[in-house]
């Protein structure tokens, strides 16, 4: 779509806006494809459209912004770049505290001659503006086909205004609020959380609870992981509260698809701000890890994935097991031929059941001993073997499996059902972790 330029520009035949204010609104809708691929066949899914409110321009009047100190440094820098003053207040104080950003803003508005406080939490212009503009835009952009609106909620102005405009045109439209865990809007007990711009510890006057048909409560961890997915998979650089909204949108898409009601539905999700505001937070692995929001690869990957992914010689069977009756010389030849360092030993000549595993041999141990006593190579494996390797279910995580290795054992036998599925050595762990970047939890 093209943006609508100011009238004077249209009359002149050229396409430009008279001022940056003429470019507020008319943000585009973009279809989301990849993020919902796992939620069922595409032809049974609702159409999911994201409204890129993040593309609205910022800046304008001389301003003093009073904000909580949990807000990202990018936001503070951005406001200062526009020439605004920024006053930071502590996040974790009650709204009525004289230190809270609500109280400080009120005081500044009172004390500075001619000051005007937009008062986003109580000023009805906030929901009214969305009722006049954003809501009708969504109606027109979807040709009235929108059936569900999903928005993360802070002041409530966005969801209240859009919902009023849409429900006036079609009362059956469902409105879904997305709220951080720890916000009272969806009825949770107030406690600190890291997602910025959404959730509250009080009910703002700009939010009308009657417009919300359903709430989805979203943790910081899920919101940030989803924001990163929106960026990587859809190419839309998304902030944390976009993640909150998208988690809820996916829930809605999943439920509609499973109920067989996806075909006709059009879900619009609001994406409020850009991930550029959170490069030092949501998009900074160190910050994410320091806040326990980025799981290590070991905590999210299963031993079975390591087995499936590791690079091995093409002719190497998944598990090689020596028999107690094999000659040590033959077992050493097998270790060398396949380039492996450990073999479980079975007393079971017929099958490879886990119960038959009675010992293990290692290349290093055998070679050292054979060097000192060459007659060893003619003896049986059963005579010289070491204790059995610890067994671990292939379904456990690498972290759980690695804990067993810290006991001093050089390797583990991964097990599926009553069969060994593979031998995993310390080196396998190291190689796997070195080549896999950490992924969001
Ligand atoms: C980053 C961000 N996301 C979402 C919202 C929620 O919008 P509303 O306050 O209209 O509920 C805000 C509000 O300022 C915000 O700053």
pLDDT, tens digit, 9 for 90 and up, residues 357-410 = 999 999 888 888 888 998 999 999 999 999 999 999 999 989 889 888 877 788
Q: Based on the fold, state whether residues 259 and 321 are members of the same structural domain.
A: no
Q: Is the pLDDT of residue 438 over 60?
A: no
Radius of gyration of the chain (CA): 30
What's the pLDDT at 309? 84
**Greater model confidence, 350 or 419:** 419
What's the pLDDT at 7? 54
What's the pLDDT at 406? 75
Distance, CA 270 to ligand 1 centroid (Å)? Answer: 10
Ligand 1 atom closest to the Cα of residue 120 is 9
Q: Based on the fold, state whether residues 337 and 283 are members of the same structural domain.
A: no
Distance, CA 254 to ligand 1 centroid (Å)? Answer: 25
Region class of 292: left (phi > 0), else alpha (psi between -120 and 50), else beta: left
What's the pLDDT at 9? 54
Asked if residue 111 belongs to a domain, the reply is no
Asked if residue 21 belongs to a domain, the reply is no
Q: Based on the fold, state whether residues 269 and 321 are members of the same structural domain.
A: no
Going by C-beta distance under 8 Å and a sequence separation of 6 or more, which residues neighbour residue 65?
79, 84, 85, 86, 87
pLDDT digits (tens, 9 = 90+) for 119-163: 999 999 999 999 999 999 999 999 999 999 999 999 999 999 999
Helices 157-169 and 134-141, axial angle in degrees (round to 10): 50
Q: Do residues 344 and 321 make contact, with C-beta atoms less than 8 angstroms apart?
A: yes
Ligand 1 atom closest to the Cα of residue 130 is 10
Q: Is the pLDDT of residue 107 over 90?
A: yes
Q: Based on the fold, state whether residues 140 and 286 are members of the same structural domain.
A: yes
User: Which residue has the least CA distance to atom 15 on ligand 1?
Assistant: 197
Asked if residue 14 belongs to a domain, the reply is no
201, two tokens: 């510890």
Average pLDDT over residues 52-75: 88
Average pLDDT over residues 88-92: 93
- Answering whether pTM is above 0.75, one says no
Q: Is the pLDDT of residue 2 over 50?
A: no
Q: Based on the fold, state whether residues 225 and 329 are members of the same structural domain.
A: no
Q: Based on the fold, state whether residues 151 and 50 are members of the same structural domain.
A: yes
**Greater model confidence, 89 or 318:** 89
Domain ends where: 291, 308, 327? 291
What's the pLDDT at 330? 93
Distance, CA 111 to ligand 1 centroid (Å)? Answer: 27
Q: Is the pLDDT of residue 437 over 80?
A: no
Q: Do residues 27 and 4 make contact, with C-beta atoms less than 8 angstroms apart?
A: no
Asked if residue 90 belongs to a domain, the reply is no
User: Which residue has the least CA distance to atom 6 on ligand 1?
Assistant: 154
Q: Do residues 352 and 420 make contact, with C-beta atoms less than 8 angstroms apart?
A: yes
Distance, CA 334 to ligand 1 centroid (Å)? Answer: 64
Asked if residue 309 belongs to a domain, the reply is yes
Going by C-beta distance under 8 Å and a sequence separation of 6 or more, which residues neighbour residue 133?
25
pLDDT digits (tens, 9 = 90+) for 261-313: 999 999 999 999 999 999 999 999 989 988 989 877 787 789 999 998 887 77
Q: Is the pLDDT of residue 238 over 70?
A: yes
CA distance 194 to 218: 12
What's the pLDDT at 439? 54
Asked if residue 375 belongs to a domain, the reply is yes
- The domain spanning residue 50 has which CATH number? 3.40.50.1100
CA distance 111 to 44: 58
Q: Give how many domains the chain has, as a whole number.
A: 2
DSSP reduced 3-state for 188? coil
Mean pLDDT of the chain: 91
What's the pLDDT at 61? 66
Q: Based on the fold, state whether residues 279 and 311 are members of the same structural domain.
A: no
The residue segments making up the domain with residue 165 are 32-58+122-291
Domain ends where: 230, 259, 291? 291
Distance, CA 51 to ligand 1 centroid (Å)? Answer: 14
pLDDT over 70 for what percent of the chain?
A: 95
Distance, CA 54 to ligand 1 centroid (Å)? Answer: 11
Ligand 1 atom closest to the Cα of residue 270 is 4
Q: Based on the fold, state whether residues 333 and 428 are members of the same structural domain.
A: yes
Q: Based on the fold, state whether residues 275 and 312 are members of the same structural domain.
A: no
pLDDT digits (tens, 9 = 90+) for 171-224: 999 999 999 999 999 999 999 999 999 999 999 999 999 999 999 999 999 999
CA distance 379 to 326: 8
Q: Based on the fold, state whether residues 268 and 129 are members of the same structural domain.
A: yes
Domain ends where: 242, 270, 291? 291
CA distance 104 to 116: 14
* Ligand 1 pocket, residues with Cβ under 6 angstroms: 152-159, 196-198, 239, 241, 272-273
Q: Ligand 1 pocket test: which of 128, 150, 152, 224 has the largest number of ligand atoms within 8 Å of its C-beta?
A: 152
pLDDT over 90 for what percent of the chain?
A: 72
DSSP reduced 3-state for 436? coil
Maximum mean pLDDT: which of 68-72, 308-312, 316-320: 68-72
**Consecutive H or E run containing 269:** strand 266-271
Q: Is the pLDDT of residue 4 over 70?
A: no
Q: Do residues 250 and 33 make contact, with C-beta atoms less than 8 angstroms apart?
A: no
Closest C-alpha among 179, 175, 177 to residue 148:
175
Categorize the per-residue pLDDT at 59 as very low, low, confident or very high, splitting at 50, 70 and 90: low
Asked if residue 2 belongs to a domain, the reply is no
Q: Please classify residue 52 by burial: count the beta carbons closer than 10 Å to its beta carbon, then call 0-12 exposed, 13-18 middle and 19+ buried.
A: middle
Q: Ligand 1 pocket test: which of 155, 195, 242, 243 has the largest number of ligand atoms within 8 Å of its C-beta?
A: 155
Q: Based on the fold, state whether residues 309 and 286 are members of the same structural domain.
A: no
Q: Based on the fold, state whether residues 38 and 149 are members of the same structural domain.
A: yes
Asked if residue 102 belongs to a domain, the reply is no
- The domain spanning residue 353 has which CATH number? 3.10.580.10
Handedness of CA 336, 337, 340, 342 (dihedral sign): negative
Length of the chain: 441
């Amino acid at each position: 779509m093209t943006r609508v330029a100011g009238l004077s520009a249209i009359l002149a035949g050229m396409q430009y806006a008279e001022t940056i204010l003429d470019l507020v609104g008319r943000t585009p809708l973009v279809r989301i494809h990849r993020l919902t691929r796992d939620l069922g066949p595409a032809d049974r899914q609702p159409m999911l459209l994201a409204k890129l409110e993040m593309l609205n321009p910022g800046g304008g009047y001389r301003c003093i912004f009073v904000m909580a100190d949990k807000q990202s440094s990018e936001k503070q820098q951005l406001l200062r770049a526009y020439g605004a003053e920024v006053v930071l207040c502590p996040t974790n104080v009650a709204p009525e505290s004289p230190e809270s950003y609500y109280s400080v803003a009120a005081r500044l508005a009172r004390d500075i001659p001619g000051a005007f406080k937009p008062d986003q939490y109580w000023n009805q212009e906030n929901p009214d503006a969305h009722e006049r503009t954003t809501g009708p835009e969504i109606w027109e952009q979807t040709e009235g086909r929108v059936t569900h609106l999903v928005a993360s909620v802070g002041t409530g102005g966005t969801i209240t205004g859009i919902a009023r405009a849409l429900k006036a045109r079609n009362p059956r439209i469902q409105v879904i609020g997305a709220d951080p865990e720890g916000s009272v809007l969806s009825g949770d007990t107030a406690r600190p959380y890291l997602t910025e711009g959404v959730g509250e510890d009080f009910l703002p006057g700009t939010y009308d609870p009657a417009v919300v048909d359903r709430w989805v409560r979203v943790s910081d961890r899920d919101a940030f992981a989803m924001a990163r997915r929106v960026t990587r998979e859809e190419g839309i650089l998304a902030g944390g509260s976009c993640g909150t909204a998208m988690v809820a949108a996916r829930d809605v898409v999943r439920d509609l698809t499973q109920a067989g009601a996806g075909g006709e539905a059009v879900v619009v999700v609001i994406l409020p701000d850009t991930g550029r505001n959170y490069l030092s937070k949501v998009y900074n692995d160190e910050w994410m890890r320091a806040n326990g929001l980025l799981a290590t690869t070991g905590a999210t990957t299963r031993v079975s994935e390591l087995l499936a992914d590791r690079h091995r010689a093409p002719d190497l069977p998944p598990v090689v097991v020596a028999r107690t009756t094999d000659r040590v010389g033959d077992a050493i030849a097998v270790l060398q031929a396949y380039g492996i360092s450990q073999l479980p030993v079975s007393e079971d000549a017929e099958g490879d059941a886990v119960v038959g595993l009675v010992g293990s041999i290692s290349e290093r141990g055998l070679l050292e001993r054979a060097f000192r006593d060459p007659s060893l190579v003619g003896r049986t494996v059963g005579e010289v073997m070491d204790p059995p390797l610890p067994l671990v279910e292939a379904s456990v995580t690498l972290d759980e499996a690695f804990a067993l290795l810290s006991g001093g054992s050089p390797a583990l036998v991964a097990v599926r059902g009553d069969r060994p599925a593979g031998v995993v050595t310390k080196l396998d762990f190291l190689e796997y972790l070195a080549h896999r970047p950490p992924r969001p939890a």
